[in-house]
Structure 1
């Protein structure tokens, strides 16, 4: 009976993030319920400034206290529950990889697909689980039947991996890739939509839109761009690397045809996890990026034939969704926007300091660009880290030159106060 009992116990473990006994409930249910009761019924904008509530959330992370991490736009740390899940499933896998990976853990993808679908507000049959936004969007970019002369419209401020994918198709197959350029921040939906519409020709087949511009955090009017594109019978692919898990929205509401995201950014899922969404009726026509026995199938799973991959990472995604749901998407969005505005408002009037991102909520949330006159982004980034142990990232891309600062829910106000002090001191020391 003992082997049988141990087997049943392991099967219970494998229910993981999809059961009432998930790791999140084991670690956080009691304390989070108590904290939640105190802010129950309050508007998300009000809760955003409640430090007692957010101190409970912050305890769920294990970030290095010797550093102030403000480059969450690159990759966010996973909460302890996610780390514990990955470690637990990794240990299980190594007890017998070919058995536990392929016959047990591999079966966990379907409940995970369902869990992500609820968060995304769509059918589970429209979601493929992969490793990042690049893999998700390249699947569509290379999977579309574009021919020589067909035109795609994007921008110079899109993510480099997407830009290079279109340029490669242009080199190999002769498609025409047109790039618009914007001087962000832009606080006019009409200006952005009109720029895309004016670029349309009779040969335009696809518009590529970055939901949140990764360099400076500009939120693009995706719904309006998609509505305009539909009038012209043009498809839209959305780069949601920085929006999913940050902004409170459902993917189908955007009106796009294709959407890709990295789950290891604001969702705080394991590093190396991503998601692809394709409108159900479009799946059949997209060729999979990697080989599949039925490449013209309407089954979203044809985009997951990767072979051996990290099943522990996949299952850790479920705990990240639990963490997200326990906070609430709108509450999380407003908190991170509050943190961004907290520091940016304090430095915007400092002499020689410039903010490169809008303060209006419809145009920005977490990411904000800052610069100091007379300093390159690299010099400012280096000064912040070497003297103050504040980790950011210098951005020099097309017409954008600044340091990108991105807080997350684990970021404390005292850390942002240190950032403000650092910028004050650096700007004060810098001569014109």
Structure 2
């Protein structure tokens, strides 16, 4: 019933198998009906924080109001409770079990829980790549400062042409002293998709602990954690899954949970079952988790495969537009299977300031830095991408 009601109120009502990835009109109607983004905003920065659909905002606000009234006998919090139904719903979508899933606030928190929970000693090596997010690096450098572990980086070819290039660059860097391998599932600055299962299988064969920074995976590309074969995984949900800000997960493989200490605990942590022991963080706002369930329902009712296809269609369009400029160096792979919804590039100009100024005037919001990243979601219009590149041409010629 809920699915039929949802389809009835959107552009999908007239065509159950639509919208197709390139049906701009249908997706535009969904933007207008389901999101609060004004027409004048070109939001191209889902890779940082997503734009929550209206129903997600409503579910969050409604629960917050209900909690403030105490009309039920339920605490409006999480952080002590096991949140069984929430974990089960997310586990089903992410391809794991609720016993292996803990709720956190973001991938950064989860990565720190992993780094701080591992028993490593001076001289142990943690291998990362030169494409890691600052938060995916920072936790290990803190560990190094406190314990004397050694950190080494594997250089990834940019842009790669095949997934084997990526895998071999990582696998070849593993040494006998390597105890942990930590790498991104999708890199934040270049949008590059790593062959997670291939890398993890090779690392496990060498007895190396595998850590996946999956901040960008949920909601951007199809994923199944069990198929990855990793020991632990960190992810944010407030990017591509369109939840309220401050929602993340930590996956810890069942037979690895005895090897990862919890970092933040409450009394009774010794007897906590499964991955619950990693999410006993004290009082937190449960309204955000109700918003997360609403976001999950939104994705499932609209159709995850439709969403993935639309996101990728827009990314390929952004890649095509970027490739038209002689002074643009694409960092994303020419093989479109190696990116999902993010395309990154550099501009051969010494000063980006005029570009940022003009984009701000035109209300185009994208990630700023030496590496420029276009990240699109279902609310993104092709005209938003055109506006960015038309502005680029106007500023730099």
TM-score, normalised with respect to structure 2: 0.92
The equivalent residue for 1:346 is 321
Structure 2: gaps of 5 or more residues: none
Tell which deviates more after alignment, 356-365 or 165-174: 356-365
Equivalent pair of 1:341/1:359 in contact (CA under 8 Å): no
Matched, 1:247 2:247: no
* Cross-structure match for 2:23: 50
Q: Deviations over 1:33-92 (max 9, x none)?
A: x7166252x7xxx91112243234322111133321111110011100100001000101
Greater mean deviation of Cα atoms: 84-93 or 172-181: 172-181
Structure 1 stretches lacking a partner, 5+ long: 1-19, 396-400
**RMSD of aligned C-alpha atoms?**
2.5
**1:306 is matched with which residue: 268, 281, 288?**
281
The residue number in structure 2 matching 1:326 is 301
Following superposition, the deviation at residue 157 of structure 1 comes to: 1.8
Find the partner of 1:407 among 376, 391, 397. 376
Aligned to 1:158, the other structure's residue is in SS state coil
* Among 388, 391, 395, the residue aligned to 1:422: 391
Q: Which moved more, 1:264-273 or 1:134-143?
A: 134-143
Task: Give the distance between the partners of 2:42 and 2:21, measured in 1 at CA.
Answer: 20
| Higher RCO (C-alpha under 8 Å, 6+ residues apart) | 2
Q: Post-superposition shift, 1:180?
A: 1.9
Moved more, 229-238 or 285-294: 285-294
**TM superposition score normalised by structure 1:** 0.85
CA deviation profile, 1:247-272 (whole Å, cap 9, x unmatched): 11211111111111111000001111
Describe the shift of the 1:379–1:259 C-alpha distance in structure 2 as closer, same or farther (beyond 3 A).
farther
What secondary structure does 1:394 align onto? coil
Q: CA deviation at 1:198?
A: 2.7
Q: Return closer, same or farther for 1:294/1:107 CA change in 2, 3 Å cut-off.
A: closer
Report the secondary structure of 1:256's partner residue: coil
Residues 378, 259 of structure 1: CA spacing in aligned structure 2 closer, same or farther, 3 A cutoff? farther
Structure 1 stretches of at least 4 aligned residues deviating more than 4 Å after TM superposition: 102-108, 295-298
SS at match of 1:202: coil
- Alpha-carbon distance in structure 2 between the residues aligned to 1:381 and 1:358: 25
Aligned partners of 1:379, 1:108: CA distance in 2, in Å? 50
* Map 1:186-225 → 2, pairs under 5 A: 186-225=160-199
Alpha-carbon distance between aligned partners in 1 of 2:136 and 2:304, rounded to the nearest angstrom: 27
Deviations 1:70-122 (A, max 9, x none): 11110011100100001000101111399542599987922111110110111
Which secondary structure does the structure 1 equivalent of 2:151 belong to? strand
1:281 and 2:260 are equivalent in the alignment = no
2-side partners of 1:51 and 1:334: how far apart?
Answer: 13
Alignment of 1:313-392 (within 5 A): 313-386=288-361, 388-392=362-366
8 Å Cα contact 1:258-1:277 kept in structure 2: yes
Aligned length: 395
